[in-house]
Amino acid sequence: MNAVQSVNTPRLVVGAYVPTGYHWNKVEVGGNFSGPLHENASDLSALALDRAEGDHMANSIAVGIAFFGPGSSSGKHFTGCNVNTLTITATAGDVINFTIDFVGMYPPTDFSSSYEGIACAKLLTWDRLAIGHDGGDPAQSFTMTINNNLERQYNLDGGGDGYELYPIDITAGMREITGTIVMYAMSGMPDFGPGLTNVSVNVDGVMSFDIPALMHRPEGSAAPSSAATYALNFTSVCKV
């Protein structure tokens, strides 16, 4: 997580062999995190899905980055961050993992007090993820990505407050939800074409919603000494 800014040195026709002009580029605040979900995690569905208006996210979050030292801690706060993308992955026999990408618009601030860190918590395992779908066979793995296609908005005449090159707003674009469910072919390879269906996702206490989705034609695979599986790819087509 960081506020990133670069400098540009355009090539000018001035009879010199070194750059003679420069300018600062716009500041982009953002970053990403990945890891396992745990029982005390916040409701990710509200952060990643809820819209206040057609082109804005309903919920933002303050992201803190802490640096721990002997007997003390310090760090930065990034306030007003919105979720750009969220990916949830789960495989039978493993923990449920996430990757989340944030977009922010404010300069980071220093921690005003010491940071205690994250309390010990039980990680969420594959049995805590429930998936509802049209397939009749058991699911072996699940991957889903929510993409809000966020865009930073900048303006002329920043106001002279020292933050002129930071964005003034974050707008949300067309939301895209895609995913894949890998099924164990207990009853053989299914024979059905693509169609509109409903995919429900529930991770205990962390996220729960239904996705009206277009299910693609199954893609089957098999290898020596391994079970036959097939993949159901889906794309959300209506409002969640």
Question: What is the model's pTM?
Answer: 0.84
221, amino acid identity: S
State the pLDDT at residue 224.
45
Give every CB contact of residue 9 below 8 A, 6+ residues apart in sequence. Answer: 19, 21, 22
Helical segments of 95-144, H only: none
Cα–Cα distance measured from residue 161 to residue 58, given in angstroms and rounded to the nearest whole number: 27
pLDDT on residue 114: 61
The tens-digit pLDDT sequence of the chain (240 residues) is: 778 777 777 776 666 666 667 777 888 899 999 999 988 877 788 889 898 876 899 999 888 877 666 566 678 888 899 999 999 999 999 999 999 999 999 888 887 666 666 678 889 999 999 888 766 678 899 999 999 999 999 888 765 566 778 898 999 999 999 999 888 877 666 665 566 778 888 888 788 888 888 877 666 655 544 567 888 888 887 776
Confidence at residue 96, expressed as pLDDT on a 0 to 100 scale: 94
- DSSP, collapsed to helix, strand or coil, labels residue 1 as coil
**What is the 3-state secondary structure of 172-191?**
ECCCEEEEEEEEECCCCCCC
How confident is the model at residue 159, as a pLDDT? 56
> Could you tell me where the beta strands, DSSP code E, fall in 1-59?
2-4, 7-8, 23-24, 28-36, 51-53, 56-57
Q: Which residues contact 172 (CB under 8 A, 6 or more apart)?
A: 51, 55, 56, 57, 82, 148, 149, 150, 151
DSSP single-letter state for residue 133? -
Q: How does DSSP classify residue 44? A: H
